[in-house]
Structure 1
Amino acid sequence: MAELTEGRARLRQLAQESGASLASLSAMIGRNTSYLQQFITKGSPRKLEEEDRRKLAEFFGVPEAELGAPLQDFKEKSYATIPSVRRDPSGWVDIARLDVGASAGPGATPGEERSFDAFRFSRRWLREQGLEAALLSSITVEGDSMEPLLHDGDEILVDRSPKPFRDGVHVVWLGDSLMVKRVASAGGGRFALLSQNLAYPPVDVAADELEIIGRVVWKGGRV
């Protein structure tokens, strides 16, 4: 086992306190699920890449220096660290609301992906649903093709955890468009994108044309 440096020890402590698994944190930063486990226990890699360190620091709401950033590098940072998920010892967790719209119509190119607010969820409820806060985010529905299930302006919680695909409502990239549709396997390496509003016909796409971002697991909106 590698020597547990201050940065590695702090990362392990933060993960334990937040209730987020090292596997889910690895997936959050775009790495394979064993990446952070190997970093902590085997010392491989020797240090975190700057972008990985930045994402983790934002998630935990701590300075990058706590995760091994050179102090001089940290002093030169001019931006404020804004956590994508804020931790609360009372049993609640804040899930980021992203400044992104997923079209429920013909498709639209979203704006900048940044957090501007948060929804607060019970940690216990998330555990009961089998959801990990590190892999959740909230975005806005745009358009009417998913009515009456989803309405224009509704906000949806998207689970980005790497699970085997099953039919359901997903947020997907199709070309340059971010969309929310019911996605069904059509066989032969193809998928059907289905709208709840029957005025919109199904869209048949090849698997390599589609990127499934995550499954919609909750919705909120005005009555």
Structure 2
Amino acid sequence: MIADASQIDARAKLLELANRSGVSLSKLSALIGRNSSYLQQFVKRGSPRKLEERDRQTLAEYFNVSEEELGGRKEKSYINSSLRDEDFVAVPRLSIAVSGRPGRFTGGETPFDNFGFSGRWLRDNGLDPTMLSSVTVDGDSMEPLLRHGDEVLIDRRPGPWRDGIHVVRVAGALAVKRLARLGRNRVSLLSQNLAYPPVDMEVKDIDVIGRVVWKGGRV
């Protein structure tokens, strides 16, 4: 059987990222909820042949790379094609910190500033500028991916959400967490910092504000 070249590249890329970050494949396997040898077998033996979507999303977000680099398909762009490469779009920065603390997010907050994003970047990433907002991360529960003081771009387009990092509201508190479905009616709220345990709950008990699609912060 001829191996899929994209999956060979995905295995090489994953090994490169792990080595560069100084994190073992066994720890990365634990991060995605697999047994300790899962990613070792994927990299060395090609078993499984490709990463499942949920695992690929988790690893791509952990290393801050595109899913395409780990064997995923490039996402299509759905925003207005009239947006030109040379256009810069002002995305509002809101004075809201997302953590586990009480907060509000109604979509009607007054921006205190803006971020400028290029039209080409927005189009290439399939983002609608009218549905984007930027907020600040508070706390260490999502380290090392998101650090205290980082700013994240939220895609607030309505519709079914998929596993990944989102801003959510739970019992009046705003948080930025990785969401993972647990069957049809339950969801797990996962922190990137393994010192914080997962929180499992009913889907109806959370309000998904939007998906985190970009981060920025000081070095």
- Scaled by the length of structure 1, the TM-score of the pair is 0.58
Show the counterpart of 1:206.
Answer: 202
Q: Is the 8 A contact 2:154 2:167 kept in 1?
A: yes
Provide the C-alpha distance between the structure 2 equivalents of 1:108 and 1:198, rounded to a whole number of angstroms.
22
Give the Cα separation in 2 of the matches to 1:99 and 1:165: 25
- State the secondary structure of the residue aligned to 1:149: coil
Give the structure with the larger strand fraction.
1
Deviation at 1:164, TM superposition (A): 2.6
1:107: which partner in 2? 101
Q: Hey, what does 2:211 align to over in structure 1?
A: 215
Distance in 2 between the 1:161 and 1:121 partners? 18
With over 3 angstroms needed to count, the CA separation of the structure-2 counterparts of 1:190 and 1:156, relative to structure 1, is same
Residue 172 of structure 2 corresponds to residue 176 of structure 1: yes
User: Which of 150, 157, 161 matches 1:161?
Assistant: 157
* TM superposition shift of 1:133: 0.3
> Match for residue 39 of structure 2?
none
Q: Show the 5 A alignment for 1:1-223.
A: 90-103=86-99, 106-110=100-104, 113-223=109-219
3-state SS of 1:191 partner: strand
Q: For 1:94 and 1:170, how far apart are their aligned partners in 2?
A: 22
Identity level (%):
53
What is the rounded CA distance, in whole Å, between the counterparts of 1:169 and 1:135 in structure 2? 17
Tell me the C-alpha RMSD between the 2 structures.
Answer: 2.3
How many residue pairs are counted as aligned between the two chains? 138
Alpha-carbon contact 1:101-1:110 (below 8 Å) kept: no
| Largest Rg, 1 or 2 | 1
Please report the TM-score for the alignment, with normalisation by the length of structure 2.
Answer: 0.59
SS in 1 for 2:112: strand
Corresponding residue for residue 3 of structure 1: none
Letter of the structure 1 residue corresponding to residue 103 of structure 2: T
